[in-house]
Amino acid sequence: MIVAAPTIGKDFGADVSTLSWLTAAFFLAAAACLLPFGRVADIKGAQRVFTLGIAIYLVSNLLCAIAPNMLVLIAGRALTGVGAGMVFGTSIALLGLVFPSAERGKAIGLNVTAMFIGFILGNLAGGFLTFYLSWRVLFVLAAGVAGLDLALISLRVRQECELSLKHDYDPIGMLAYAGAIFLLFYGLSQIGHLTGLAWFAAGALLLLGFVLWERRYPNPLIPKGISKSRDFAWAAGSNLTFQGGTFAIPFLLSLQFQYVSDLDSRIAGILLIIPQAVMIVLGPIGGRLSDKVLPRRVAGLGCLISLVGTLILVFVSEGTPLSMLIVVLLLGGIGTALFMPAVLNWTLRGVPRETYNIASSMTETSRMAGMTLSNAVVIVVFGLIMGTATVGPDNLPQFISSMNATAVIFLLMAGLCAAMAFGVFDSLMRSRKVGR
């Protein structure tokens, strides 16, 4: 979609702001639906919700393929987000339910590796298919993959898992949570404007109302087995801060490559594949390692490795050699390959089996929140230092200053992530209790 967006804009006469909704509509819908459908999956079964999500994914992509205008295309992308939310919230839970705990990290590592392969193939296919055929083919291809998934599910996944002992859906809690997440994510995406702050504040108030409701409702949307799990809370917090401190780094390096290092977009694109290539190689290793070593420690190690790469960005200048920027990409790839499978394994270790789906949904929500937060940091910092000026030879010092300041914030997030992963806060809390 990122590669095809300019061509779609030309076909429909859409500006950049409108084109951004192709991605925003997807993520907003997915984030809002994750937790409610995770709860439904715990009650009705993970396979059933996963399969329905794939079916919605198929139909919505066909709708996008025949969209006559931009409004229908954006609506189709939002519907795709609903289906994706059902898939994201159950896929890791299915692995956790099917595989024994001693092999769960290995399975998750392979799953994460497949995701990284998909990222690379998506970028390549987006460019070639749009150039030689049409952007509409991208959606037909996605629908075809969804159809293949449905066939595989019907042939290979025959058993259902309905583990929840509670069958109350808490519809008020679901609506309050979905609305709060939608407003929070939308506010973060528009954080550079006063209206964005207003939407974010409204989401925060609605989230507070959701929390108050959950405390009084006898069968809350978030089961007590999760809400009282400190291990799960640290895993979710680590996921949020890791994504918040790393997700936007490739975007910053893309700008550095093209504006400062004077590389063309083709070379920059090839270099940005480096971390994903590293993740493909090391992802299964990270998953197996989290089976043998405490997952939170593997996640912490991945965070520390990424932290070193972020530290380099703090001191980047116009004269920084290209080799050092490549080191940042390599360290980011190694760190993510260790962190991602480990944090997912860590998440499932901290909750009862009957809540795997909603735990998986909350973990995915924290990841997406971190990604949105990372982009928001870039928007705010660059807006404060550079304003609305475009990058050019005359303001490269301001651009470098913006990148350094952004890296400092990312460094703080990475440090917070490592502290949670290595149990620093747990140790402080225990020492305080002993002192009392």
Distance CA 233, CA 407 (A): 26
Distance CA 325, CA 319 (A): 11
The burial class, CB within 10 Å (0-12 / 13-18 / 19+), for 262 is exposed
What is the pTM assigned to this prediction? 0.76
Q: What is the CATH number of domain 15-157+221-422?
A: 1.20.1250.20
Residues 6+ apart with CB under 8 A from 402: 381, 382, 385, 386
Confidence of residue 164 (pLDDT cuts 50, 70, 90): very low
Between 194-216 and 171-189, two packed helices, what is the crossing angle to 10 degrees? 160
Is the separation of the CB atoms in 40 and 90 below 8 Å? no
DSSP 8-state secondary structure symbol assigned to residue 11: H
pLDDT of residue 312: 92
Is the separation of the CB atoms in 426 and 230 below 8 Å? yes
CA 149, 151, 157, 163 torsion: positive or negative? positive
DSSP 8-state secondary structure symbol assigned to residue 390: P
- Between residues 412 and 217, the one the model is more confident about: 412
pLDDT of residue 157: 67
pLDDT exceeds cutoff 80 at 144? yes
Confidence of residue 165 (pLDDT cuts 50, 70, 90): very low
Confidence of residue 404 (pLDDT cuts 50, 70, 90): very high
Residues 210-223, mean pLDDT to the nearest whole number: 77
Which segment, 195-204, 331-340, 380-389, is predicted with the most confidence on average? 331-340
Distance CA 89, CA 30 (A): 9
pLDDT in tens, 233-249: 888 889 889 998 988 88
Residues 397-425, mean pLDDT to the nearest whole number: 88
Could you tell me the two tokens for 372? 């949105």
Percentage with pLDDT > 70 across the chain: 87
User: Degrees (nearest 5) of the Cα angle 329, 334, 340?
Assistant: 115
Residues 421-426, mean pLDDT to the nearest whole number: 73
Task: Break the chain into its structural domains and give their ranges.
Answer: 15-157+221-422, 171-220
Residues 148-176, mean pLDDT to the nearest whole number: 71
pLDDT exceeds cutoff 60 at 37? yes
DSSP 8-state secondary structure symbol assigned to residue 3: T
DSSP 8-state secondary structure symbol assigned to residue 94: H
